[in-house]
Structures are given as structure tokens and as C-alpha cells.
Amino acid sequence: MNERLISENDLQAFVDDRLGPDSRAEVEAYLAEDAQAGTRVARLRALRDDLRGAFAPIAAEPVPPQLDLARLVAARRRPRVSAWQGLAAALLLTVGGLGGWIARAALPNGSGGISVLAQEAKTNYVVYAPDRSRPIELAATDRDEITRWFSARLKRPVAVPDLSAAGYHLLGGRLVATDHGPAGMLMYDDAQGTRVVMLIRSFGEGGDVPMVEHIYGSIAGCAWARKGLGYSLVAAADPEVLQPLVREIRRREAADAHG
Amino acid sequence: MQQMMLLVEPLIPALRRYAAALTRDRSDADDLVQDTLELVIARWHQRRDDGSVRSWLFAILHNLAMSRLRQSHRRGGAHLPLDDVDEASLAVPPHQEAGPQRHDLLRALDALPEEQRSVLLLVTVEGLSYAETAEVLGVPNGTVMSRLSRARDRMIQLMDGEAATRRPVLRRLK
């Protein structure tokens, strides 16, 4: 009475609920007629459910921290921190010693100084960069909207810097609050998913400030001010992350200065 | 890498489950998943764009598990009989009402040949398609089907055998 032979593969697929409605009906008809096959298939289905039930609780557990993907990505970079310390030492020499480094950062003015800007950028990096669900509010596809939004709130034209030459692509941005008014926060990532944050806000009467590097434990950044806007770029303290960006920004600044 | 987070992170609970079912030791299982994820991070850009990320992940985990299993066999360790294993290291948490049936189920699973056990777990517990399972194990679809059929019948046989010998003993313990 079956129109075709029911194969063992059909029975297995039936057990796994992977047959289309027609084949399923055929197998059901076959099983209704063949009591022995019916009993076997019923047991195989019960076995399937028991196996699923036995291991289901494991997948419902929270994932332990050792398996946190973001942490594992970060851990791959950790051994290179000592290289960063070498870079920091080299920077100290170029800036002219630690005194100069700090003194420049502490200049008081209406904008809170470049170190305050750097601190604000670091705070936002710490909050938003690890956020997996919504690190940004407007995506890179809304670049124009981001530009309009930031420009309107900072009351001057704000450009969204293109860091792709350094391997970083815009993820998007959001407006954030600082003690010195609204700031535009942009987030970029590279092919490895390393995120960097750029904070842009009005720098008041602070004037132009050349790029200054900052290190806060495992986080590093550089900040500068130009034409009334303060910029601060923050990344994990890893020269492999920051160096290409610093180079790219320096190159851009030099081009601006000459152009 | 943003894409990697989106695609890989949701699969980690399932990878832990498969690793636990394969190794039957929770801490070995998580070590295995960690090694898998580290490989995934390192090789993300080398994977085939057209392939299923899920098969790719399970394949990496499976291959790591198999090479580790072979190593420990060579060292003469591994696969303790279930009764000798510390309860806490079992794949299934003890509070899961591990009654005699569950016990028989896990013993039967452990007694399956490795190649049958993987197919059975990937298809039934992980819900991989037959094609994905074939991809993970690097075998033809037909092999998946025949291993699946043999694995299931063998499980039933083993469990019937276990039930016959074990249940009276368990009753007497009460």
C-alpha cells in the first residue's frame, strides 16, 4: 500500500523531524502498519528527547568568564603591553621628560584643559567600547546624520574623521555628556574588532594644543585641540593599536598645517 | 571582528554543551572550548565565507577534542569507567535528578564508538543538519546517516542491557 519503499534514512529523518509533510505522512502510514518498526521508531524518538534533556542544562548556564569572547580577543593582545611601555619611554624622551608631559596636560582654561578632555574620552571609552549590544546610537551608514547632529550640538562644523588609512573603520557615533558640554563620540574598529573611541567637543578658549599622549593603566590615548575643537582618541594601551592611528593623525595634522 | 562577535558569541553555550558531552568532564570541556575560541579568533579571516559558521566552529572543536583524546589514549589515561569518575566532573549536573535511566543513558553513550557518538550528539543534541554534521566530521552524508542509525540502535541495546543488570541493584539500595 505504500507508494514507495521507506528507507532507513527516511526513518532516521522521521525521528529527527526532518521530513517534509508528504514524506512524513508516508512514514507515519508505514509505521502504523508495521508494529515492530513503530515500536523501534518510538523508542528512537524517546532516546532523542532523553539525550537532549540530559545535556540541555549545560547550554542554559551562563558562559564562564574564561570563555568570554571579548576577553579572549583582548588577551591575545596582552603580551605586547611591554612593547607599549617601550613606546611610552620613547615618547617621554620626545616630549622632553615627564615634567613637560604633565605640565602641558594641566594647563587651566575654560575647556578644562587637554587632560580633562582626555579623561572624558577615557571615561566614555570604558563605558561604550566594551558594550556589545549598543556601543553607538547612529551607525556608520548615517555618517551624514552624525555630522549634522554633532555640528548642531557643538555649534560649529564637525567632520567625522576617516581613519581607514590606519585600518580603522567607523562603526558609528553618539552624543555624550561631559562637564564641558555635549561631546560627539565616534567609535571605530579594525579587522580584528579592536575598538577605538574618538571624542570631539568644544575646546572653548583653550586655543590649539599639539597632540599629547596619555596613559591610564591599560588604556592609552592622545588628545589635541585645533580651531576651537578638542579631540581625544582612546584605545587599549597597545602600541599596535595606537601607533598607526597616531601616525595617521600626525600625517593629517601636518597636511592641514601645510594646506 | 564585530561580525565575529555577532556570529560566534551566540554559539558558545552550544559549544560548551557539545564539549561536555564529548569529554564528559566539565573542566576539560571548557578548556577545549577556550582553545577552540582562540583558534577561531586567530583564523577568523581564513574561514570560507560561504560555509556555515556553526559547522566551522564545531569542526574546530571536534578536531581538537579528537586529537586530545588520541593523545590521552596514548598516555594511557582518559576515559575512566563512569563509576570511577568524581560526580562533580560529570557532564550532567548531579542536581538534574540523575536517576537510573539517566545513568544508563550516559553509560550507553560512553560505550558508543567515538565516531557514532559524535554523529548522535551533533544531530540530536546540537540539532545540526545532516549536511552540517557531514561537514563537521569531514565525511559523506551517507556515512552520517549510517552512523546515526547504528548509534541509535546500539544505544537502545546498551540501555536494555544496563537496565537488566542494574535496576535490581539500585532498588536494593533504597
What confidence score (pLDDT) does residue B76 get?
Answer: 52
CB A192 within 8 A of CB A212: no
| Tens-digit pLDDT profile for residues B18-58 | 999 999 889 889 999 999 998 898 888 878 777 789 999 99
- pTM for this prediction: 0.55
Residue ranges and CATH numbers for the domains of chain B are 1-80 (1.10.1740), 97-174 (1.10.10.10)
pLDDT band at A111 (very low <50, low <70, confident <90, very high): low
Whether the pLDDT of residue A91 is over 70: the answer is: no
Whether the pLDDT of residue A131 is over 90: the answer is: no
Task: Calculate what percentage of chain A has a pLDDT beyond 70.
Answer: 76
What confidence score (pLDDT) does residue A216 get?
Answer: 75
CA distance A89 to A83: 10
ipTM: 0.83
Residues 145-204 of A with CB under 8 A from B: 171, 189-194
pLDDT band at B67 (very low <50, low <70, confident <90, very high): confident
- Chain B CB contacts of A194 under 8 Å are 1
Give the mean model confidence (pLDDT) for residues A201-229.
80
Whether the pLDDT of residue A158 is over 80: the answer is: yes
| Angle, vertex CA A173, rays to CA A171 and CA A175, nearest 5 | 170
What confidence score (pLDDT) does residue B22 get?
Answer: 93
CB pairs under 8 A between A and B: 110
Whether the pLDDT of residue B136 is over 90: the answer is: yes
Are B2 and A189 a contacting pair at CB < 8 A?
yes
What confidence score (pLDDT) does residue B49 get?
Answer: 75
Whether the pLDDT of residue A213 is over 80: the answer is: no
| Angle, vertex CA A205, rays to CA A203 and CA A206, nearest 5 | 60
Q: Judge whether A15 is closer than 8 Å to chain B, CB to CB.
A: yes
What confidence score (pLDDT) does residue B166 get?
Answer: 54
- Residues 6+ away with beta carbon under 8 Å from B9: A69, A132
Whether the pLDDT of residue B106 is over 60: the answer is: yes
Burial grade of B31 (CB within 10 A; 0-12, 13-18, 19 or more): middle
Are A55 and B92 a contacting pair at CB < 8 A?
yes
Whether the pLDDT of residue A79 is over 70: the answer is: no
Task: Calculate what percentage of chain B has a pLDDT beyond 90.
Answer: 53
Give the mean model confidence (pLDDT) for residues A40-44.
96
More confident residue, A76 or A234: A234
What confidence score (pLDDT) does residue A195 get?
Answer: 85
Give the mean model confidence (pLDDT) for residues B147-157.
96
Highest mean predicted confidence (pLDDT) among A54-58, A104-108, B4-8: A54-58
Whether the pLDDT of residue A191 is over 80: the answer is: no
What confidence score (pLDDT) does residue B80 get?
Answer: 43
- Amino acid (1-letter code) at residue B21: A
More confident residue, A195 or A35: A35
Which of A52, A54, A70 is the closest to B106 by Cβ?
A54
More confident residue, B52 or B70: B52
Positive or negative: CA dihedral A43, A45, A50, A55: positive
Task: Calculate what percentage of chain A has a pLDDT beyond 90.
Answer: 41
Give the mean model confidence (pLDDT) for residues B95-122.
86
- Chain A CB contacts of B148 under 8 Å are 12
CA distance A2 to A26: 7
Residue ranges of the domains in chain A? 8-60, 80-258
The lowest-confidence range among A39-48, A96-105, A165-174, B24-33 is A96-105
CATH fold of the domain at A80-258: Phosphorylase Kinase; domain 1 (3.30.200)
The lowest-confidence range among A133-142, A150-159, A201-210 is A201-210
CA distance A52 to B68: 25
CA distance B64 to A252: 47
Instruction: Round the average pLDDT of chain B to a whole number and report it.
Output: 82
Whether the pLDDT of residue A106 is over 60: the answer is: no
